[in-house]
C-alpha cells in the first residue's frame, strides 16, 4: 500500500461538519473555532478565499443536517458568532463574503422544508456582522467596506444572488440594524447605511428588487416615523428632567456646604432627593433596558438623497415614478404632516363599508316604485333561488322592482317566501251574500258596432 495522503485541515473539518452524527458535528464546530483563532493570530497566517469556501461548504451541510427548531437556532447562533473569532477586519469580511457566495450557490437546491432555518441563518449572520461593526465604533471606512461587500454580493444586478436571497436581505436589513444600533446611531449614520439601497433603487432594471426596496426600506421608514418622533420626544423630556435633577442636587450641595461652614453639620432627612436617587449603575442599567428600537432619520435628507438619484437622466422612468411617490411622503414628514391624516376615519372602522352603503342607497330608491302588468305576473310565479332573481333582473332590463311586501305572492319583509292559502270547500257558499266584482267588458272597435 502506498503512503496515506494527508488532507488539508479545512477539508477534514468540512467532512466532519457534514457528518451524520450530531456529536461529530458539534465537536467539529468547536474545533473549527479554535482553529480560526489560532491561525488568524499569526502575522503570516490567515485564510484564502478557496479555503473559506470549503469551510462554509461544511457549515452549510452542518446546518442542513440539523433537526429540531431549538437546536437549529443554537447552531445558527454558534455559526454566526464565528465571525468574532477572526482577529482582523479583512479576515472577517472574507468570511462574510464567502458566506453569501455559498448561500447564492446552494440556494436553488434548498427544499421548502429547510428554507426557514437558512432564513434564520442569514438573519443571524447579518446581525453579527453589524455587531462587529458596532464593536469598532461604526468606523466610516469599515462601514463602507461592509456596505460595498453586501452590495456586490447581493444587491448589484451583476451578482449571482437569487430573488429569494435578495428579498429576504432587504426585508431584514432595517430590523437587524435597529436591534444593534438604534440607541446609538445618528440620522447621518443611518442615511449612510441605507445609501446602497438608494443607488440600487434608482438603477435596477428588476421590478421585484425595486418593489422590495421601496416597501422594505423607504415605506418602513415612513411607517415607523410616528414611533421615532415619539421616542425622540421622550428622550428630550428625559434630558430636561435629568438637568432639573442635577440643578436641584447642586442647590442642595451648596446648602450643605453653607451649613458646614456655619458649623451646622447634619444629615439630610430620609425623604430628601439625595436618598430618592438610585445609584449610578442602576440608572445605567435602566437606560440599557429601555433602549430605543426605532431608527432615527432626517426625512428631508433622505428625500433629497432620493431625489438626487431619481432625477438623473439614466434613471428608468418606472423607477423615477416609484421613487417620486416615496419622496413626496418623506417631504410631508419633514414638514410635520403624516400620511394617515388624509384617510377618513370611517375607512379604519369598515374598509368595505363605503361601497356597500352606496349600493344600498341605490337599491332603496328603486324599491319605492311599484310595478304592474307583466312584471307583477313574473313576481307572482317567481321562485326563491338567486339565479332566477338574476334572470328576472336581466329580463326587466333596467326596470324598477316592486316593493317586496306589495308584491302578490312574493317575499315578506324578512325575505321568507309566503305560503298561499287555498280556500276550503264550501267557502264560496258561505260568502254568497258578498258582492262579487263585475267582469271587465271587452272593448270592441267602433267599426264593428
CA angle 225, 231, 232 (to 5 degrees): 85
Question: 114-123, 159-168, 343-352: which range is least confident on average?
Answer: 343-352
Mean pLDDT for the chain overall: 76
Reported confidence tier of residue 336, pLDDT bands at 50, 70, 90: confident
Low-confidence winner among 6-15, 47-56, 299-308, 334-343 (lowest mean pLDDT): 334-343
How does residue 335 score in pLDDT terms, banded at 50, 70 and 90?
confident
Residue predicted with more confidence, 327 or 246: 327
- pLDDT tier for residue 422 given thresholds of 50, 70 and 90: low
Mean per-residue pLDDT, 252-269 = 55
Q: For residue range 6-30, what is the model confidence (pLDDT) as tens digits?
A: 888 889 999 999 999 999 999 999 9
Least confident stretch, 39-48, 287-296, 320-329, 382-391: 382-391
> CA 114 to CA 65: how far, in whole Å?
10
For residue range 377-408, list pLDDT tens digits in order: 444 444 445 555 555 555 555 544 444 444 44
pLDDT for residue 281? 40
Task: Tell me how far apart the alpha carbons of residues 339 and 328 are, in angstroms, rounded to a whole number.
Answer: 10
Q: Is the pLDDT of residue 287 over 70?
A: no
199: which 3 cell numbers?
A: 443607488
Residues facing residue 411 across a β-bridge: 417
Mean pLDDT of 180-185: 91
| Higher pLDDT among residues 406 and 307, named by residue | 307
Question: Which has the higher per-residue pLDDT, 80 or 384?
Answer: 80
Domain ranges of the chain: 9-184, 185-248+295-339
More confident residue, 297 or 426: 297
> What is the DSSP code string of 316-349?
-HHHHHHHHHHHHHHHHHHTT--GGGGS-HHHHH
- The region, left, alpha or beta by phi > 0 then psi within -120 to 50, assigned to residue 206 is beta
148-162, 178-192, 224-238, 257-271: least confidently modelled range? 257-271
Distance of alpha carbon 407 from alpha carbon 413, whole angstroms: 11
pLDDT of residue 5: 77
Asked if the model's pLDDT at residue 81 lies above 50, the reply is: yes
- Max Cα distance, the chain (Å): 141
Backbone Cα Rg of the chain: 38
Instruction: Give SS3 for 404.
Output: helix
Q: Which one has a higher pLDDT value, 258 or 203?
A: 203
The DSSP call for residue 420 is: P
pLDDT of residue 40: 87
Q: How far apart are CA 212 and CA 209, in angstroms?
A: 5
Phi, psi of 286 (to 5 degrees): -65, -40
Residues 6+ apart with CB under 8 A from 128: 80, 81, 83, 84
Q: What is the pLDDT of residue 36?
A: 94
User: What pLDDT does 148 receive?
Assistant: 96
The dihedrals phi and psi of 303, each to the nearest 5 degrees, come to -65, -40
What is the rounded average pLDDT of the residues 146-169?
95
Residue 253: pLDDT band with limits 50, 70, 90: low
Written as one string, the DSSP assignment of 175-207 is HHHHHHHTTT--HHHHHHHTHHHHHHHHH---H
End-to-end CA distance of the chain: 134
C-alpha distances out from residue 253 to 227, 260, 271, Å: 39, 10, 16
pLDDT of residue 19: 92
Backbone angles phi, psi at 192, to 5 degrees: -70, -35
Q: What is the DSSP string of 209-250?
A: HHHHHIIIIIIHHHHTHHHHHHHHHHHHHHHHHHHHHHHHHH
- Mean of the pLDDT values across residues 26-40? 93
Higher pLDDT pick, 387 / 330: 330
Amino acid at each position: 500500500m502506498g503512503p496515506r495522503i494527508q488532507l488539508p485541515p479545512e477539508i477534514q473539518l468540512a467532512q466532519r461538519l457534514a457528518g451524520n452524527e450530531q456529536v461529530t458535528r458539534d465537536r467539529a464546530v468547536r474545533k473549527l473555532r479554535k482553529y480560526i483563532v489560532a491561525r488568524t493570530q499569526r502575522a503570516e497566517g490567515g485564510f484564502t478565499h478557496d479555503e473559506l469556501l470549503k469551510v462554509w461548504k461544511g457549515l452549510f451541510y452542518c446546518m442542513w443536517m440539523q433537526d429540531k427548531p431549538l437546536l437549529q437556532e443554537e447552531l445558527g447562533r454558534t455559526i454566526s458568532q464565528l465571525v468574532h473569532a477572526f482577529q482582523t477586519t479583512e479576515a472577517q469580511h472574507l468570511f462574510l463574503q464567502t458566506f453569501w457566495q455559498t448561500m447564492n450557490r446552494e440556494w436553488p437546491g434548498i427544499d421548502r422544508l429547510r428554507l426557514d432555518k437558512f432564513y434564520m441563518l442569514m438573519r443571524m449572520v447579518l446581525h453579527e456582522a453589524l455587531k462587529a461593526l458596532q464593536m469598532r465604533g461604526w468606523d466610516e471606512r469599515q462601514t463602507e467596506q461592509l456596505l460595498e461587500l453586501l452590495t456586490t454580493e447581493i444587491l448589484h444586478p451583476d451578482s449571482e444572488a437569487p430573488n429569494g436571497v435578495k428579498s429576504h436581505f432587504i426585508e431584514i436589513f432595517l430590523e437587524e440594524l435597529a436591534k444593534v444600533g438604534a440607541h446609538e446611531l445618528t440620522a447621518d449614520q443611518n442615511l449612510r447605511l441605507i445609501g446602497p439601497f438608494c443607488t440600487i433603487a434608482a438603477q435596477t432594471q428588476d421590478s421585484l428588487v425595486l418593489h422590495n426596496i421601496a416597501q422594505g426600506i423607504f415605506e418602513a421608514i415612513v411607517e415607523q416615523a410616528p414611533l421615532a418622533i415619539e421616542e425622540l420626544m421622550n428622550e428630550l423630556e428625559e434630558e430636561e428632567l435629568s438637568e432639573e435633577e442635577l440643578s436641584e442636587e447642586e442647590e442642595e450641595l451648596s446648602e450643605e456646604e453653607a451649613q458646614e461652614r456655619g458649623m451646622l453639620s447634619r444629615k439630610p432627612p430620609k425623604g430628601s432627593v439625595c436618598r430618592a436617587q438610585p445609584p449610578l449603575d442602576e440608572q445605567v442599567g435602566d437606560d440599557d433596558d429601555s433602549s430605543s428600537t426605532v431608527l432615527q432619520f432626517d426625512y428631508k435628507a433622505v428625500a433629497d438623497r432620493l431625489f438626487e438619484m431619481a432625477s438623473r437622466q439614466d434613471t428608468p422612468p418606472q423607477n423615477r415614478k416609484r421613487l417620486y411617490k416615496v419622496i413626496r411622503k418623506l417631504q410631508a414628514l419633514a414638514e410635520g404632516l403624516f400620511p394617515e391624516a388624509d384617510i377618513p376615519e370611517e375607512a379604519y372602522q369598515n374598509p368595505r363599508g363605503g361601497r356597500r352603503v352606496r349600493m344600498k342607497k341605490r337599491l332603496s330608491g328603486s324599491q319605492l316604485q311599484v310595478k304592474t302588468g307583466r312584471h307583477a305576473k313574473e313576481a307572482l310565479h317567481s321562485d326563491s333561488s338567486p339565479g332566477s332573481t338574476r334572470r328576472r333582473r336581466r329580463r326587466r332590463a333596467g326596470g324598477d322592482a316592486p316593493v317586496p311586501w306589495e308584491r302578490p305572492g312574493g317575499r315578506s319583509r324578512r325575505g321568507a317566501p309566503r305560503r298561499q292559502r287555498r280556500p276550503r270547500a264550501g267557502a264560496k257558499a258561505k260568502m254568497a251574500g258578498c258582492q262579487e266584482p263585475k267582469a271587465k267588458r271587452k272593448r270592441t272597435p267602433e267599426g264593428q258596432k
